[in-house]
Amino acid sequence: MKLIKRWLHALYVRISIVFMKLLPDKTPVTFTGPDSSHVLCQSIGQSGVDRILVVTDGMLLEIGLVGPILAKLRSAGVECSVYSGVEPDPTFNHVEAGLALYNEEGCDSVLAIGGGSSMDAAKVIAAAAANPGPIRKLEGMMKLKNMPVPLYAIPTTAGTGSEVTVAAVISEADTHAKCFFIDPKLLPRMAALDPNLMKGLPKPITAATGMDALTHAIESYLSLTHTPTTEAYAEIAVRLVFQNLPRAYGDGDDQEAREAMALASFYGGLAFTRTGVGYVHAIAHTFGAYYGTPHGLANAIVLPHVLEFSADAAIERLAKLGRLVGSGGTTPTEQAEGFVAAVRILMEKVGIDGQLPALQVEDIPGIAKQALDEAFLNYPVPRFMQQGECEVLLRRLLVA
């Protein structure tokens, strides 16, 4: 059985390489810099939108971040309806509630304001609005018959890169199992990377989302489906994170660092949307399902351990990243080890200790199985991981 799974995974990788080359190379029209969200609002008004559904979360609405954007939209001639019920790891219930409001209010487009959860919910709402029927029928690869209604994005965290990806993740409300929607049609039409909206992020969120952006770039770089283009995007993202995440963490009002981190997230998204991710994400998703661990934090905790597991198969790629960040060493092995060490040092600088107190010994076999099932025919990883190997990795995360 183990040999069969390895063979199937190798076949999947070969198919993925061909498939990724066939994906259209598109990016949304993107506005960057302070107050770029206001420019986006003007462009939405100029595009003929009458009433837009703003998809966000209650906290952003409460702290007043959404209000000025709504005012800019209205001054541009766009009426607004607001769905603020999105929560971390959005479920089908959130999507259905947002879609119901979209239909009740007679909306003709969707704007996501927030982090990855708002982006994911907005993408599926926009898709479902143009593809009538059960939302679950849209789950999977290339299931959209019709283009979603016009979709726009304003990220308020620098991590997910969802504004430039062709995927969305929605959870089952009861089991918290992740359901993936993957289709080039999910790409937003326009996006704004506005550092002014990210200045108020608390330090833990700055750290976790920044490590999420780094993980996207690294896993894309190590993916067997990488291309020269995705490699260039990933290298930009890695360099930006190492140079700017400690600055943004240390001074949340550092506008230059915030803008650089928004760009790091953007380039990381451009990279992984064409290559997929890997075991870091598979395990992190499972931590979210079991314990509600924030996704970026879960990625950070797992990242160095998966890099060590993958090192033998990806030594040259890790060595290139080591040279990129100046981690030292003269041989590929030393440079690769230096890069993993640099990741750990970066985590320390932003207050992430790499432990998961919630992890329970009795959960480890189930976590490993769920993570490996997700990764099996989804992620073109450089080294195939078995159940026992995943359990050994997870045991290293137990708090002594």
Domain count, the chain: 2
13 has a pLDDT exceeding 90: no
The total number of residues shown for the chain amounts to 400
What's the gap between Cα 11 and its chain centre?
26
Q: Distance (Å, rounded) from C-alpha 195 to C-alpha 375?
A: 34
Whole-Å CA distances, 146 to 27, 171, 357: 19, 23, 45
- 27 located within any domain: no
Q: Are both 290 and 387 inside the same structural domain? A: yes
The confidence score (pLDDT) of residue 116 equals: 92
According to the 3-state scheme, what is the secondary structure of the chain?
Answer: CHHHHHHHHHHHHHHHHHHHHHCCCCCCEEEECCCHHHHHHHHHHHCCCCEEEEECEHHHHHCCCCHHHHHHHHHCCCEEEEECECCCCCEHHHHHHHHHHHHHHCCCEEEEEECHHHHHHHHHHHHHHHCCCCHHHHCEECCCCCCCCCEEEEECCCCCCHHHCCEEEEECCCCCCEEEEECHHHCCCEEEECHHHHCCCCHHHHHHHHHHHHHHHHHHHHCCCCCHHHHHHHHHHHHHHHHHHHHHHHCCCCHHHHHHHHHHHHHHHHHHCCCCCCHHHHHHHHHHHHHCCCHHHHHHHHHHHHHHHHCCCCHHHHHHHHHHHCCCCCCHHHHHHHHHHHHHHHHHHCCCCCCCCCCCHHHHHHHHHHHHHHHHCCCCCCCCCCHHHHHHHHHCCCCC
Q: Are both 235 and 277 inside the same structural domain? A: yes
Comparing 364 with 376, the larger pLDDT belongs to: 364
Residue 340 structural domain: 2-22+203-395
- 28 located within any domain: no
Residues 6+ apart with CB under 8 A from 272: 161, 165, 216, 217, 219, 220, 223, 230, 234
Q: Are both 170 and 281 inside the same structural domain? A: no
- Backbone dihedral angles phi then psi of residue 354, each to the nearest 5 degrees: 85, 10
Residue 68 sits at the vertex; the CA angle it makes with 151 and 93, to the nearest 5 degrees, is: 45
Q: Are both 70 and 147 inside the same structural domain? A: yes
Q: Are both 9 and 150 inside the same structural domain? A: no
- 149 located within any domain: yes
Last residue of a domain, one of 148, 172, 198: 198
Amino acid at position 69, single letter = I
Q: Are both 240 and 174 inside the same structural domain? A: no
- 373 located within any domain: yes
pLDDT tier for residue 65 given thresholds of 50, 70 and 90: very high
Q: Write the pLDDT tens digit of every residue in 158-195.
A: 999 999 999 999 988 887 778 889 999 999 999 999 99
Q: What share of the chain has pLDDT > 70, as a percent?
A: 94
Residues 6+ apart with CB under 8 A from 34: 194, 195, 196, 255, 259
Q: Write the pLDDT tens digit of every residue in 272-329.
A: 998 999 999 999 999 988 998 999 999 999 999 999 999 999 999 999 999 999 999 9
Q: Are both 87 and 236 inside the same structural domain? A: no
Q: Distance (Å, rounded) from C-alpha 49 to C-alpha 47?
A: 6
CB 272 within 8 A of CB 283: no
- 267 located within any domain: yes
Residue 191: both structure tokens together: 């996006």
Q: Write the pLDDT tens digit of every residue in 249-258.
A: 999 999 999 9
Q: Are both 194 and 208 inside the same structural domain? A: no
According to the 3-state scheme, what is the secondary structure of 18-50?
Answer: HHHHHCCCCCCEEEECCCHHHHHHHHHHHCCCC
| Burial class of residue 201, CB neighbours in 10 A (0-12, 13-18, 19+) | buried
- 353 located within any domain: yes
Q: Are both 249 and 215 inside the same structural domain? A: yes
Q: Distance (Å, rounded) from C-alpha 213 to C-alpha 192?
A: 17
User: Cβ–Cβ contacts within 10 Å for residue 223, how many?
Assistant: 29
- 315 located within any domain: yes
Last residue of a domain, one of 165, 198, 231: 198
Q: Distance (Å, rounded) from C-alpha 148 to C-alpha 53?
A: 13
Q: Distance (Å, rounded) from C-alpha 247 to C-alpha 350?
A: 9
- 400 located within any domain: no
pLDDT tier for residue 6 given thresholds of 50, 70 and 90: low
Last residue of a domain, one of 146, 167, 198: 198
pTM: 0.92
Q: Are both 210 and 83 inside the same structural domain? A: no
Q: Write the pLDDT tens digit of every residue in 84-138.
A: 999 988 999 999 999 999 999 999 999 999 999 999 999 999 999 999 999 999 9
Amino acid at position 185, single letter = K
| Domain harbouring 276, CATH code | 1.20.1090.10
Q: Are both 149 and 285 inside the same structural domain? A: no
pLDDT tier for residue 15 given thresholds of 50, 70 and 90: low
| Domain harbouring 150, CATH code | 3.40.50.1970
Q: Are both 99 and 18 inside the same structural domain? A: no
Amino acid at position 35, single letter = D
